[in-house]
Amino acid sequence: MPQTGAVRDPQIEELQAVERRFDAALLSADVAALEAILGERFFLNDFMGGVMVRSELLRYLGAGELKFHGIEPHDLSAQHHGDTGLVTGWTEMKAELAGAGSQVKSRFLHVYARHAGAWRMIAAQGTVIPELD
Protein backbone atom coordinates (compact mmCIF):
# COMPACT_ATOMS: atom_id res chain seq x y z
CA MET A 1 0.00 0.00 0.00
CA PRO A 2 1.64 3.28 -1.03
CA GLN A 3 1.84 6.02 1.53
CA THR A 4 0.21 9.34 0.91
CA GLY A 5 1.96 12.63 1.52
CA ALA A 6 5.53 13.71 0.98
CA VAL A 7 7.19 12.02 3.96
CA ARG A 8 7.78 8.27 3.89
CA ASP A 9 7.85 6.46 7.21
CA PRO A 10 10.13 3.39 7.15
CA GLN A 11 8.31 1.90 10.17
CA ILE A 12 5.00 1.98 8.27
CA GLU A 13 6.67 0.43 5.24
CA GLU A 14 8.05 -2.35 7.43
CA LEU A 15 4.63 -3.03 8.97
CA GLN A 16 3.07 -3.20 5.51
CA ALA A 17 5.78 -5.62 4.36
CA VAL A 18 5.21 -7.90 7.37
CA GLU A 19 1.47 -7.80 6.70
CA ARG A 20 2.07 -8.97 3.09
CA ARG A 21 4.39 -11.74 4.34
CA PHE A 22 1.71 -12.82 6.85
CA ASP A 23 -0.94 -13.19 4.12
CA ALA A 24 1.52 -15.02 1.84
CA ALA A 25 2.50 -17.39 4.66
CA LEU A 26 -1.15 -18.21 5.38
CA LEU A 27 -1.84 -18.92 1.71
CA SER A 28 1.17 -21.22 1.37
CA ALA A 29 0.82 -22.75 4.87
CA ASP A 30 4.42 -21.66 5.51
CA VAL A 31 4.72 -22.50 9.19
CA ALA A 32 8.38 -21.43 9.38
CA ALA A 33 7.52 -17.96 8.04
CA LEU A 34 4.61 -17.66 10.48
CA GLU A 35 6.86 -18.67 13.37
CA ALA A 36 9.05 -15.67 12.49
CA ILE A 37 6.08 -13.29 12.16
CA LEU A 38 3.94 -14.29 15.15
CA GLY A 39 5.00 -13.37 18.66
CA GLU A 40 5.38 -16.20 21.16
CA ARG A 41 2.15 -15.20 22.95
CA PHE A 42 0.15 -14.38 19.79
CA PHE A 43 -3.61 -14.93 19.92
CA LEU A 44 -6.44 -14.45 17.47
CA ASN A 45 -9.95 -13.47 18.49
CA ASP A 46 -11.78 -14.98 15.53
CA PHE A 47 -15.00 -13.84 13.92
CA MET A 48 -16.93 -16.75 15.48
CA GLY A 49 -16.11 -15.57 19.00
CA GLY A 50 -13.35 -18.08 19.64
CA VAL A 51 -9.73 -17.58 20.64
CA MET A 52 -6.89 -19.33 18.82
CA VAL A 53 -3.35 -19.18 20.18
CA ARG A 54 -0.15 -19.33 18.14
CA SER A 55 0.50 -23.05 18.67
CA GLU A 56 -3.03 -23.98 17.51
CA LEU A 57 -2.81 -21.88 14.35
CA LEU A 58 0.58 -23.32 13.45
CA ARG A 59 -0.58 -26.88 14.18
CA TYR A 60 -3.77 -26.57 12.06
CA LEU A 61 -1.84 -25.09 9.14
CA GLY A 62 1.02 -27.58 9.40
CA ALA A 63 -1.36 -30.54 9.49
CA GLY A 64 -3.38 -29.23 6.54
CA GLU A 65 -6.53 -28.96 8.67
CA LEU A 66 -6.69 -25.22 7.95
CA LYS A 67 -6.15 -24.07 4.38
CA PHE A 68 -6.41 -20.59 2.92
CA HIS A 69 -7.41 -20.50 -0.74
CA GLY A 70 -7.65 -16.74 -1.13
CA ILE A 71 -6.90 -13.61 0.88
CA GLU A 72 -7.65 -10.26 -0.67
CA PRO A 73 -7.00 -7.28 1.63
CA HIS A 74 -8.67 -3.90 1.17
CA ASP A 75 -8.34 -0.42 2.67
CA LEU A 76 -5.19 -1.20 4.65
CA SER A 77 -4.09 1.41 7.13
CA ALA A 78 -0.94 1.13 9.23
CA GLN A 79 0.29 3.25 12.10
CA HIS A 80 2.83 2.97 14.84
CA HIS A 81 3.25 4.45 18.28
CA GLY A 82 6.78 3.80 19.47
CA ASP A 83 7.28 0.04 19.44
CA THR A 84 3.59 -0.75 18.91
CA GLY A 85 2.10 -1.04 15.43
CA LEU A 86 -1.49 -1.37 14.24
CA VAL A 87 -2.73 -2.53 10.87
CA THR A 88 -6.43 -2.38 10.03
CA GLY A 89 -8.51 -3.06 6.95
CA TRP A 90 -10.95 -5.59 5.62
CA THR A 91 -10.41 -8.77 3.70
CA GLU A 92 -12.19 -11.21 1.44
CA MET A 93 -11.06 -14.64 2.51
CA LYS A 94 -11.63 -18.18 1.23
CA ALA A 95 -10.60 -20.86 3.69
CA GLU A 96 -11.20 -24.46 4.66
CA LEU A 97 -11.19 -25.86 8.19
CA ALA A 98 -11.36 -29.64 8.63
CA GLY A 99 -12.80 -29.99 5.12
CA ALA A 100 -15.52 -27.36 5.52
CA GLY A 101 -15.05 -24.45 3.14
CA SER A 102 -16.07 -20.89 3.83
CA GLN A 103 -15.92 -17.52 2.17
CA VAL A 104 -16.11 -14.45 4.37
CA LYS A 105 -15.55 -10.74 4.38
CA SER A 106 -14.16 -9.47 7.66
CA ARG A 107 -12.77 -6.32 9.21
CA PHE A 108 -9.54 -6.92 11.04
CA LEU A 109 -7.11 -5.37 13.48
CA HIS A 110 -3.56 -6.72 13.74
CA VAL A 111 -1.39 -5.59 16.64
CA TYR A 112 2.40 -5.66 16.34
CA ALA A 113 5.22 -5.13 18.81
CA ARG A 114 8.73 -4.21 17.73
CA HIS A 115 11.24 -6.45 19.49
CA ALA A 116 14.95 -6.73 18.73
CA GLY A 117 14.46 -4.63 15.61
CA ALA A 118 11.65 -6.71 14.09
CA TRP A 119 7.87 -6.31 14.03
CA ARG A 120 6.05 -9.36 15.44
CA MET A 121 2.27 -9.79 15.34
CA ILE A 122 1.08 -10.26 18.91
CA ALA A 123 -2.71 -10.15 18.51
CA ALA A 124 -5.39 -10.21 15.85
CA GLN A 125 -9.13 -9.57 15.86
CA GLY A 126 -11.55 -10.40 13.06
CA THR A 127 -15.19 -9.34 12.74
CA VAL A 128 -17.50 -10.58 9.98
CA ILE A 129 -18.91 -7.94 7.66
CA PRO A 130 -22.50 -9.04 7.09
CA GLU A 131 -23.90 -9.08 3.57
CA LEU A 132 -26.40 -6.28 3.21
CA ASP A 133 -29.32 -6.74 0.82
Kindly give, in sequence order, each residue whose CB lies less than 8 Å from that of residue 47, ignoring residues fewer than 6 positions away.
Answer: 104, 106, 126, 127, 128
Mean pLDDT of 20-26: 98
- Report yes or no on 133 lying in a domain: no
- Report yes or no on 1 lying in a domain: no
- Report yes or no on 2 lying in a domain: no
Parallel/antiparallel/unpaired status of strands 118-128 and 51-53: unpaired
- Report yes or no on 5 lying in a domain: no
CA pair distance 67, 45, nearest whole angstrom: 18
- Is the predicted pLDDT of residue 5 greater than 80, yes or no? no
Domain around 108: 10-128
- Report yes or no on 106 lying in a domain: yes
- Report yes or no on 3 lying in a domain: no
Residues above pLDDT 90, as percent of the chain: 83
pTM: 0.90
The domain total for the chain is: 1
